[in-house]
Amino acid sequence: MNGPVLHVVGARPNFVKAAPVITALRTAGCGQVLVHTGQHYDERMSDIFFRQLGLPEPDTDLGVGSGSHARQTADLLVALEAELTARAPAVVVVYGDVNSTLAAALVAAKLPIPIAHVEAGLRSFDTTMPEEINRRLVDQLAELLFATSPEAVGHLSREGVDLARVHFVGNPMIDTLLGHLDRFDPAAARAAHGLPERYGVVTLHRPSNVDDPRAAAAAARALAEAAVHLDLAVPLHPRGGAALRAAGLADAPGVHLLEPLGYVEFMSLVRGAAAVITDSGGVQEETTVLGVPCLTLRGTTERPVTVTHGTNRLVRHDELAPALHKVLVGAVTQPSEGPPLWDGKAGPRIARVLTHWLERHG
């Protein structure tokens, strides 16, 4: 196995997780190839992240774009099969749980090429979430499984995964957060968007909140009620933005709709927020480390460590405004310590495991 390490990324969360791994492998002198599937193709959700995170230009951009789950995954399978066949990598590294992750794992498994899954073992146990399907299937195919929390290791063990393949390494998304902390300027971000000194940040894109018009209407009503207590900055994700606008969110007093933001701009707003309302897994993690109260508008989370060791609380639509009020009056205490190994060194740990594995299988 003398080929390169081939990374497959396709969406914003992948970029943030991949950056510290790619940097650590570069430091170790490891040959690498970066393939961008183009699942997130909007410049504000893709190109700007590469620039701000110091990622190299992709060796290949497949430009797959959006579509239904079936069409997008089918397009990814065809494009990735050709790419992996031509590149002949020693190992394929996939990140998180998006469709690009699943497609890359399926293609690699059938060629066959070993797979390393960064962020293995996360489980919401909600099979209505496409991401839950993706992450479960990828974990069954992976040769190396990199877990971000002890709970994730436990899930994999109960599913019969050989624990010799599992490595508890911490969270590379937190590596990126801590590595860019001095670039986050809340005052400048607040001024750029005309926000008051005390404000909240909202990001919603999950199907349970935006796909069905009734769900989008319920989410918009909940946010309008919450905005009575706190001005809310809402960077609209390409997925779901139209649904929230159609539900009337733009007309709610105290709601500031924004275009999608780059990583530094978004995290600057989050760092200075009095509270964050989200359905994003990554934002639950980022707020945990920043110490910003987080209200997750979902019934489940695949990141329970953000609840037990962090700032996160799960709320229903009808619970959002009262929960936000409790946060703002200081009625909620924050945990005294963060999750284990979320220390900014996950990338080097992953690189060490990969390089040792390559030496054994070279």
Tokens 């909202």 correspond to 202
DSSP secondary-structure letter at 55?
A: P
Determine whether 205 is an active site residue: yes
Tokens 């910003």 correspond to 292
Contact 159, 318 (CB under 8 A): no
Contacts of 116 (CB under 8 A, 6+ apart): 91, 92, 93, 94, 142, 143, 144, 145, 146, 354
How many of the other CB atoms lie within 10 Å of CB of 180? 18
Q: Beginning with the edge strand found earlier in the chain, give each strand of the sheet holding 32-36 in spatial order.
A: 60-61, 32-36, 5-9, 91-95, 115-120, 144-147, 166-168
Give 36's strand partners.
9, 61
Rounded distance between C-alpha atoms, residue 190 and residue 331, angstroms:
25
Spot the catalytic one: 40, 167, 205, 237. 205
Residue positions annotated with a catalytic role? 205
